[in-house]
Structure 1
Amino acid sequence: MKTLLIAEDEPILRMLIADTLEDEGYKLEEAADGEEALQKISDTKFDLIILDYMMPKMTGIEVIEHTRRLENRQNAKILMLSAKSQQSEQEKVLHAGADGFMSKPFSPLELIDKVEEMLRGKAAPLFE
């Protein structure tokens, strides 16, 4: 069973993402802010980390940058979720080290497809 971390500060969206992915059989952990996410990433090796771009305490970009410096976490697969869909913001995500990006809002089916694609290790466009 694949283990995923969902780091999203909006409780309703976090619950929607968790419900969607639990229905697909994934084991999940959740974080409500960037610091909590980084602590969980430090303690657990996740198959995929799903990060919100704008979170309290640390942004998703900051979490990625810190994760990439952690021993044994440099190759963690990271999917960034953001309402900021401008090309410049997407480029920041790429340069920080994310493996995928999804603009909010998204459908549960789009999320499932993207997560499965990333877990299979298929080469896919960073931005959609």
Structure 2
Amino acid sequence: MAEVLIVEDEPDVLLLLENRVRAAGHAVESATDGETAIDILRERRPAVIVLDWMMPRVSGIEVLEQLRADDPDHAVKVLMLTAKSQQSDIDRAYSAGADDYIVKPFSSRDLIERIAALVEKE
């Protein structure tokens, strides 16, 4: 079982993600904006972060950049889960330090499999 931080501002999507990730046997913590996610990351390091890009206050890409500045060894794995589907967005996320990228809408099964693969890379 790994600790997974889910950062998502849409309540229905957040609830779905929390339920699916818990059902896969992981401990789940969540944040509904990037600022809260950064606060959580200052106190502890989950194994995986499922991170939306477009959020209020601090965007997911800004959270990722801050995390990588604090965690240059990539101990925390980041899976971007976003509606941003342009190749330039995908390239930007990977260059900022994302470990994986899923475009919404997404398959719950694919999400769980990708989280498991990231946990195995720890």
Is TM (by shorter chain) over 0.5? Answer: yes
Cα RMSD, aligned residues only:
1.2
Which residue of 2 is the match for residue 37 of structure 1?
37
Instruction: Report the identity percentage.
Output: 39
Q: Does 1:63 align with 2:82?
A: no
User: Over residues 11-41 of structure 1, what are the superposed CA-to-partner deviations in whole Å (9 max), with x where a residue is unaligned?
Assistant: 1101100000101110010000000011111
Which secondary structure state, in structure 1, belongs to the residue aligned with residue 98 of structure 2?
A: coil
Q: Does 1:93 align with 2:93?
A: yes
The residue identity in structure 2 corresponding to 1:82 is T
Runs of 4+ with >3 A deviation: none
Which secondary structure state, in structure 2, belongs to the residue aligned with residue 28 of structure 1?
A: strand
The residue identity in structure 1 corresponding to 2:78 is I
Which residue of 2 is the match for residue 78 of structure 1?
78
Which secondary structure state, in structure 2, belongs to the residue aligned with residue 98 of structure 1?
A: coil
Which residue of 1 is the match for residue 47 of structure 2?
47
Which residue of 2 is the match for residue 126 of structure 1?
none
User: Over residues 65-86 of structure 1, what are the superposed CA-to-partner deviations in whole Å (9 max), with x where a residue is unaligned?
Assistant: 111122xx33211000111111
- Tell me how far 1:120 sits from its aligned partner: 1.1
- Tell me how far 1:5 sits from its aligned partner: 0.1
TM, length-normalised to structure 1: 0.90
- Tell me how far 1:107 sits from its aligned partner: 1.4
Separation in structure 2 between the aligned mates of residue 54 and residue 64 of structure 1, nearest angstrom: 12
Which residue of 2 is the match for residue 106 of structure 1?
106
